[in-house]
Structure 1
Amino acid sequence: MTTETVGVEPATKKAGTTGVQARGGWRSLTFRASTAVSAAWLGLLALAGLAFPLLPLPDPARSDYGAIGAAPGYAGHLLGTDTIGRDMLSRLIIGGRVSLTVGIGGVALAVLIGSLLGLLAGFHGGVLSRVINALMDILLAFPSLVALIALSVFIGTGLKMIIIGIGLITAPQVARVTRAATLSFTQREFVTAARGMGAGGTRILIREIVPNVVGPVIAFATVLVAVAIVAEGSLSFLGLGVPPPASSWGTMMADGRSEFENNPHIALLPAAAMFVTLLALYFLAEALNRRFDVKEAAL
């Protein structure tokens, strides 16, 4: 009996360990696959937008009056046409280019402004930190969409104006994330050692703090790109986005709202494109969160 018990227990433990490892390996494989698919979708969307003039597709602003509201696959229109006969595939690609331009451009501006303010507030503290925090709290108190609508009244509409508005609205969020990350590193051992070796504040900030803050900021910025795309779509849906005849996913959904019962593809296709893009950005942000580890710079 003793011999049998000793012989069975190790086998059971080994099987259990193998099961846990298998589940962990499956989750890791699924995570890598979702990240690869997400990156491929975003890359394809960006490439199609950049190379659109070279693609054999109809002009997104030209109407085919013989195929108004045509279903996908009709008369050479792969994804059909909209309410005035414009090719849906062409408009989806141009709309994706607008969304990525607004998302990346607006968030880049937000990172430029917010990360600088967050670094200064987190590293220096004191009166400067309190002033920056108060300013960020005031800006964050306004609902984002309402603030964007108000800004569109003052600075106007158009692609550049939307990018500036989104950059200003999202900069406080970047500043708070950067400040929190900076505060977490200012008391770390490698920063204390750098001070003990006589390093100045600027050198510590550039050599020790910034390299460790970059990772969290990039991961958060990826999430903000998705937020910016939703904001641009909302403004375009309300008629405050890029002016016609430019294509935008929000504008396309607004155009298809009145024809949803008869031609649902006009509104569903841009909605699906936006959903897939937001999902891809979410998976990519998760991958970046795992990818960027805190690394101490060489002293």
Structure 2
Amino acid sequence: MAAAFPHLSTAELETLLAALDPQRGDSGSLADSLADPPAFLARIGLVAGPVALVAWLERWRAAGGSQEALLMAVQALLDQRRCEAAARSIELVWSGPDAGAGSITRDQSVLIRQLVERAEQRLLLTTYAFYKGPFIKELFQLIRERMLALPKLQVRMVCNIQRDRGDTASPETLIRKFQQQTWSRLWPEPPAPALFFDPRSLALEREKAVCHVKAVVADQELLVTSANLTDAAQLSNFELGLHLSSPAHADDVWDHFDRLIQQGLLQAVG
């Protein structure tokens, strides 16, 4: 059986790939790059290249392997490495009955608590609805403790304020009702997050719209989910989400909501 390709870091694989590519390399030296593997590796900066790689390249040449075929092999290996890294940065999270043996998803309620516990700079939670239950009470207390421990932690929540069908009360009346009957029970003592809502949800004169996004940003992590911040959604309902360890995506979501706030499209409650 042929020996496996020696393990190289992604950066080393990229260096090797660039050196083997006729379009990017020195055509004068590429023609005989495999004739002297130690010299080849030294020339491209892999001076401390593993002995196993030198031996592998020598076996490749002895078996009739060409530079073009080696280029394709290294490219395929690098593509596989990148796919595996991307897969590790995204995972499924689940709410609902346990699927039992063979399940590949994580418990979403556990992940949300972990995101709160890991947040040090920023925390954003968005939901269509939230109701006070044992899980939400515990979660909000955890957020409050985190805010007390880290005064510079920026915590924002975005929610929907409901206007029932046929209700003609003014937006101001419904906001006060939400503050007194919902928010004060969910968050009875300071410090409290900055809370925002979409004022279109309370509009009377035009077709209303609601904030239906369910997501969490915790520093450089992002959770996008179908689950509201309710005990039913987190513990009982069938709900599915994606957890991304991706600074770029976390930044995008945080910045998007920040622009909505700055432009007044989302307004502060109180």
User: TM-score, normalized by length of structure 2?
Assistant: 0.25
The structure richer in helix per residue is: 1
The structure richer in strand per residue is: 2
User: TM-score, normalized by length of structure 1?
Assistant: 0.23
